[in-house]
């Protein structure tokens, strides 16, 4: 299983941060029935604020690196990416596979830049 974790911070100049986070979460969760490669997708809005905290997190799981790549290139995902780029100031991500799996990470040359 391959896992994809993303953390974002909302821009300081967003007028209604709470409404933006609600929409952000809804848009991500709406991807579940649209992208068949998604095995699991969970979104959490931060409840404990602090200087090192992110505002919202996504953790999703896929059967392979190829399926993660298909998810990232899916048109529905790209629509969410456009929204996200307009409301966030920072994005951090971590991608990994379970040690017990045979899945090998893609080589640097095989990774499509985002």
CATH second-level architecture of 2-60+73-93?
Answer: 2-Layer Sandwich (3.30)
The pLDDT value recorded for residue 99 is 62
Q: What is the pLDDT of residues 40-73, one digit of tens each?
A: 999 999 999 899 999 999 999 999 999 999 999 9
Instruction: Give the sign of the dihedral formed by CA 83, CA 86, CA 87, CA 91.
Output: positive
Task: Give 8-69 as a DSSP string.
Answer: EEE-TT-S-HHHHHHHHHHHHHTTTTT-TT-SEEEEEE--S--TT--SEEEEEEESSHHHHH
Question: Rounded distance, CA 14 to CA 3, Å?
Answer: 30
Yes or no: say if 46 and 53 are a contact pair by the CB < 8 Å rule: yes
Q: What is the pLDDT of residues 69-93, one digit of tens each?
A: 999 999 999 999 999 999 999 999 9
Instruction: Give the sign of the dihedral formed by CA 86, CA 9, CA 23, CA 37.
Output: positive
Measured at the alpha carbon of residue 76, what is the angle toward residues 75 and 79, in degrees to the nearest 5? 90
Sheet holding 56-62, edge to edge: 40-45, 56-62, 2-10, 88-97
């Amino acid at each position: 299983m391959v896992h994809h974790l993303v953390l974002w911070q909302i821009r300081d100049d967003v007028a209604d941060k709470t409404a933006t986070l609600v929409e952000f979460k809804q848009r991500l969760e709406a991807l579940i029935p649209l992208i068949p490669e998604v095995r699991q997708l969970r979104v959490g809005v931060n409840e404990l604020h602090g200087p090192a905290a992110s505002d919202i997190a996504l953790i999703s799981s896929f059967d392979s690196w190829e399926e993660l790549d298909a998810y990232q290139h899916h048109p529905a995902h790209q629509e969410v990416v456009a929204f996200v780029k307009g409301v966030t100031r920072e994005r951090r991500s971590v991608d990994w596979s379970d040690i017990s799996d045979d899945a090998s990470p893609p080589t640097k040359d095989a990774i499509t830049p985002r």
